[in-house]
Each structure stands twice: as C-alpha cells, then as structure tokens.
Structure 1
Amino acid sequence: MQQTYQTLLDSNQHHSLTNDEIVSMLIQGEWEDRENRKINRYLKAARFRYQANIEEIDFTASRGLDKTQLLRLADCSFIKNKQNILITGPTGVWKSYLASALGHQACIQGFRTLYFNTQKLFPQLIMSKADGSYQKQVNKIEKHDLLILDDFGLQPLDNKTRMMLMEIIEDRHSRKSTIISSQLPVAKWHEVIGDSTVADAILDRMVHSAQRLELKGQSLRKSK
C-alpha cells in the first residue's frame, strides 16, 4: 500500500482522485502484491526442473501435441476436478517441459505444486525412513494440490519403492491431482511396477479418468 501511495504522489495522480478512489487503489495494490508474493513462494517451493511457461511451448514441431487440449489443461480445471495427467513419449519430445509448464500455470492460479524426478524421490524417501521423517515427507506430498512425478519408469520398482508409490497414489486418489511423465507407454507401466496385485491397484487409481498427452516424433534436442 505504501508503494502504491508513493507512486500516486510521484505521478501527482492523487490530486484528481477522491478519497474513496485512493483507498480502493491502495487496497488493490496490497492485494496484487500479496498475490505476487504467494505465487513466487509457490514457484520456489515447487522446485521445477525447467522454468517453463505455456506461452513458450512450440506447437509447430511434429510430435502429436494437441494445442487445443493443452490450452484447455492450462486453465487447471483438471486440478479442481481431481484428475490426473499422463504424459508419455520418447526422449527429447519435451515431456518434462510440458509437465513443468502445467505446474507453473498451477502455481500462478494459486495451487500448491510439488515437482520430483521419480528416480530421486524414492531414494529420498528411503533415507527419510532412516531418520524418522518418512511420514512427514509423505504427508507433505499429500497436502499439495498438484504433484508432478517426472521420468517415471526408467527403472523397475523393487518392493520398497512399489509400496511407497502405492501409498502416495492412494493418499491422492480422488483428492488431489498428479502429473506423471514417462518414456514408456502406459501399457508397459504394469511391468515396471512389478507385483501384479499392487500394480493393478496403483494403475487403477492413476489411469482412471486421467487425461493423456501421448507425444511422438524425434528428439527436439537432436534436431536443434
């Protein structure tokens, strides 16, 4: 409010405004400042792999990306509807960038978001069991409106990581949204997860009513 008032004084706008208009502008300035600070906190806490924006996505590359579908997802109604998004495709087609861009959009719209590379998440959780902070970490993941699990399925899951994934997915099922990106098509996730009973339970919760972005084509990194 102080900054807004100083701006009014410096520009001499206050002479042409009523008291009510000045108070309204001060309140608006305070609200915008708080919203911007909240968004910056959310973006910093999310720890995205890429500083990605929907506006910077290249739709001209031939990779099967539906612009209409992506822009529809950018309104974040999938988070309000507690839906998941599954992004699959070969390496280099910007799966991680798309996931980060949707996460960035979620932060802007006031949704608390958390990003993890799946290959780093499970070792962190295993270490947290050793120091007694595991449940705290799992509860933290559960509370976020949007969870992004990037690079899922690069390695088969063992029993520990399989049960950790089950717990995370179960906590979020029908309550929160999750974005999962993977080089493997969804049809091969069952094999990566392992134990058929647990895999069935996880996939039923992850895939049910999920929206999919199935990308294709050659690596954009290679073309560049």
Structure 2
Amino acid sequence: MNHTAILNLTTDLGYKGFKEAYMRQIEDIAYHSLGFEERLYQLLQAQDVFLNNKRVFMNLKLSKIKNKQALLEDLDYDPKRKINKAQILSLASMDFIRARQNIIINGKTGTGKTFLAESFAIRAIQEGFSAYYIRTATLLEEINLSRIDGSYTNLVKRFARYKLLILDDFGISPITADDATNLFEIIEARNQMASTIITSQLPVKDWYDYLQNNTIADAILDRVVNSSHRVFIDGDSLRPKYGKIAKDYE
C-alpha cells in the first residue's frame, strides 16, 4: 500500500493529527529506525493531542471569556496587592472543581478580579472542564427573559451543566427580591454538582443585606460561602499601571 492511499484515508476519516504526524514520519528518515508499534503509538498520540487541542479551542470559544489571553502565569503578585501566592498555586491545580467547591474573589474596581477569575476558567478548560463567563446582571436579565418566553427550565439546565461558572460583578447594581430568588435557583441547581467563581466589590459580610430577602440570603450564603475559598485582592486600580490594556485586569 502506498503513502497516498493512507493519507487519503486519514483525510476521509478526519484524522488530521494522525495525518500530519504520518507525513512527518514519511519525510524524516530518523523515524525509519523505529519499530512498528512505536511509530503507530506516536501517530495515535498525535491524533489524541490534536483532538484535545480542538476540544480546548471549542470550549474556550463557547465560554464567553472576554480575555482569552488571561493566564495564571501572568498574574501580578505586586506586594501591594496582597495576593496569597500559595493559595493561588493551590487553586491552580483545579482540585476545587473536583471537590465541587467555590471561589469568592473580593477587591476594589480595577484590581484584577475578572482577570483572575478568567485565568482560573482558562486553566479549567485546559484541564478538560467546561467553563462559562457571565456578568451577574446579564444572567439575571436572561432569567427574566426566559420566564417570559418559556425557556426558563432549559436555561437553568444549561447553567447547571457547566463545571465552572463565573458570576462576575456580583453586587455592583441594585437587585430585587425576585432577582435574588432567580439567582438562588441557578446556585441551587449547581449546588454540590459544580463550582462557581463569584467576583465582587461588595464584601461578603454585606451580601445578606444586599439580597433583600432573608430566606433567600440564608440559602445562598449557605450554599456558596460555606464551601468557598476566599481570595482578596488589595491595592489600587491597575488602570494607571497597564494603561489601555487595564480593562483586561478588571
């Protein structure tokens, strides 16, 4: 059998990673000294890497993460920010997702809460987990619209499905008692099933009053706060330091 037949078959099967690796083996004489099993293993490994990279690319695209260049390796550990590096490195293992735990990131505007949350989400996607980013106000708006058009049940199921959900800017705008109830429904659907990262300028101690519904506030705090890692970012806004790209660190 000639090389053309094999290349045509890999094209028909969609085995792009396998095909590219096979072409390298044809062109590089160094591969010719390897045994059949080793060459086959490398071809299959190349296909596996290709599929994994494709999956990561697609999940990243579907995640709605704004800054897809946000990486934990680029996190600014300036002492003034008082970020616990050991804590971040521990969370970077993604064990909090495996344990279905949450993260609450607190800090003033512009200090990098969103950047950190999205960095965790990108790492999660690289590790094979699904992730989704949404501002809390946008989520509440989508819930209200879904109740009107009859798609509410499907919406709750969709948000329950993500292994990691980022709720950004919690507490930044007024919330009604109905909004608090709707937010609870999403949190309840994910409780002990998946992980959530909440970023907020509002200190956790003020969340109870902010939610305006004592029963719902108790339920939300019980499900989120009691199973969360608390990350605090201190210091001033990063906008003066990073100029035009500061929005990526908000």
Counterpart CA distance in 2 for 1:61 and 1:8 is 50
Alignment pair present for 1:178 and 2:210: no
Question: So what's the TM-score if we normalise by structure 2?
Answer: 0.87
Counterpart CA distance in 1 for 2:202 and 2:34 is 61
Identity level (%): 37
Higher Cα Rg, which structure? 2
- Contact 2:177–2:211, Cα closer than 8 Å, also in 1: no
Partner of 1:108: 126
Partner of 1:79: 97
Q: Write the mapping of 1:83-162 to structure 2, written as runs, cut at 5 A.
A: 83-162=101-180
Partner of 1:42: 59
- Contact 1:156–1:193, Cα closer than 8 Å, also in 2: no
Shift in Å, 1:223: 3.8
Count of residues in correspondence between the two structures: 224
- Contact 1:49–1:96, Cα closer than 8 Å, also in 2: no
Shift in Å, 1:61: 5.0
Counterpart CA distance in 2 for 1:193 and 1:78 is 26
Counterpart CA distance in 2 for 1:124 and 1:210 is 25
Counterpart CA distance in 2 for 1:220 and 1:62 is 11
1:22-58 Cα offsets, whole Å, 9 max, x none, are 1101110011111111111111111112221111111
One-letter code aligned to 2:31: H
Q: Structure 1 segments of 4 or more deviating over 3 A?
A: none
In structure 1, the gaps of 5 or more residues are none
- Contact 1:155–1:192, Cα closer than 8 Å, also in 2: no
- Contact 2:60–2:122, Cα closer than 8 Å, also in 1: yes
Counterpart CA distance in 1 for 2:30 and 2:158 is 47
Partner of 1:205: 223
Counterpart CA distance in 2 for 1:176 and 1:7 is 42
Shift in Å, 1:14: 2.9
